[in-house]
Structure 1
């Protein structure tokens, strides 16, 4: 009986994954943001493919000069090429979003899985711990911590943002694990004497992690916006780092005289966040059976 249940579960899991793929592959709103993000990721990894200009080579005599031959986006207040800074700034902005979300996801999966699967006192303790972190407003907590740091790098900013990002994901992991732990195939695996680690890795997490990963995609976009906001306020990355947030912070004082210094990095930032949010919405609808059509 238990073997049959486990085999049936494997078949159902394969069918469900095929159903998700069959749903998303027919949607333009899946491929379009995916293409945009692929280009941006390539830009972050190999910026030399998009520009040969040095983002730190500046000519102060060309301060705030608009678009010109060799400088399609114009030059910023220091006379640096805006296009080169936008291209090279993609690495820091995307890195903060991805690293922060990855760290938050690891913490959330660990905490949420223990709380949801073990239950009892472990669930109570971890739930109170999650509530403590949820009690801190996301941006306010990040501002307080970052304000006390001397050096701010991509890793340090990512860690600080991850500290205040994981509780929401942890609650979702806990909910999905609790919904999965009482399933027939999990009970069958327990009856067959499988170790807890195997049950979690083979039967619980693969069936519970889908909705969490979809929401994690949305988290990346939110973190990128948060990093840009903090940098704009002077509390995020600092020069000589290059990021879209730093470009926006530098351009704000001369927006009326040189709007191009703010518009172009803002466009790339908006395109990135919009693509991530759209992709996350599509994936979230796909992994939810009620969202399939």
Structure 2
């Protein structure tokens, strides 16, 4: 059965609205209200936490942080991976061969281990720097896809025709091959949003990402671990947000795959 992309689009729209509009509704995620661990009510839609902070405010501001980190990381990975992949797939130069070997070496390293080592060495980082590190470690998978597509497109009729007409190799590579090789990269980048969100949450949970008191979904899960019985909503709220975010990215990625690569279905 074919899955509709509308579910993913609706989830993505809801999360973007939460990230954009939510902080206007609840502007201060650090404000301490009257009463700790208050259950959800009309005064506090998602209750309060152990520090009397409004959970909805922290969720909304955390959405802005988590989605920004994921978006920036994916864009960086897409730009670097596409550039490296198309050059590596072009062949015929020392640079292409070197980039192939670098990509293979980078793919052999466990990404989560590399991230943990880097973040442990660098210490607490602002969200944008954190996003850049996640993005820089995410390009090899995209580079591999683009390289494979570049190798295939080098034998395409329109590319052979461009060479026969005297188009210089750089023009053939960047004007003829790259646009066609981007389809799998865009699909992988969309699916990679889910990975980036989970990486941000997981690293924050381990104390290596966005640090308290700044709001993030991973940090909210970390802070809720001692209150599972007294205030289960502290865990359920950020977990539900993570599930919604990763599900929407996956559904949109699959929809893009069906649209851009219908022959693979």
1:10-52 deviation per Cα after TM superposition (whole angstroms, max 9, x unaligned) = xxxxxxxxxxxxxxxxx76212211221221233234345x24
Aligned match of 1:140: 113
**Whole-Å separation in 1 of the counterparts to 2:167 and 2:125:** 46
Aligned match of 2:166: 193
Structure 2 residue 13 is the aligned partner of structure 1 residue 56: no
1:73-84 alignment runs, 5 A limit: 73-84=46-57
1:101-141 deviation per Cα after TM superposition (whole angstroms, max 9, x unaligned) = 11111111111111111345333211211122222211111
Aligned match of 1:45: 20
**Whole-Å separation in 2 of the counterparts to 1:38 and 1:194:** 43
Structure 2 residue 15 is the aligned partner of structure 1 residue 35: no
1:37-116 alignment runs, 5 A limit: 37-48=12-23, 51-59=25-33, 62-116=35-89
Structure 2 residue 231 is the aligned partner of structure 1 residue 262: no
Task: State the Cα RMSD in Å.
Answer: 1.8
Judge conservation of contact 2:28–2:57 (CA < 8 Å) in 1: yes
1:209-259 deviation per Cα after TM superposition (whole angstroms, max 9, x unaligned) = 112111111111011101100100111111342211111111112112111
**Whole-Å separation in 2 of the counterparts to 1:75 and 1:203:** 56
Judge conservation of contact 2:89–2:147 (CA < 8 Å) in 1: yes
Aligned match of 1:271: 244
Compute the TM-score of the two structures, normalised by the length of structure 1: 0.84
1:82-231 alignment runs, 5 A limit: 82-231=55-204
Aligned match of 1:4: none
1:277-288 alignment runs, 5 A limit: 277-288=250-261
If you compute each CA radius of gyration, which structure gives the higher value, 1 or 2?
1
Judge conservation of contact 1:224–1:273 (CA < 8 Å) in 2: yes
| Deviation of the 1:197 alpha carbon | 4.1
Judge conservation of contact 1:238–1:246 (CA < 8 Å) in 2: yes
Structure 2 residue 167 is the aligned partner of structure 1 residue 233: no
**Whole-Å separation in 2 of the counterparts to 1:278 and 1:144:** 32
Unaligned runs of 5+ in 2: none
1:63-111 deviation per Cα after TM superposition (whole angstroms, max 9, x unaligned) = 1111122101100111111111111111110111111111111111111
Q: State the 4+ residue runs in structure 1 displaced beyond 6 angstroms.
A: none
**Whole-Å separation in 1 of the counterparts to 2:228 and 2:242:** 17
**Whole-Å separation in 1 of the counterparts to 2:131 and 2:230:** 34
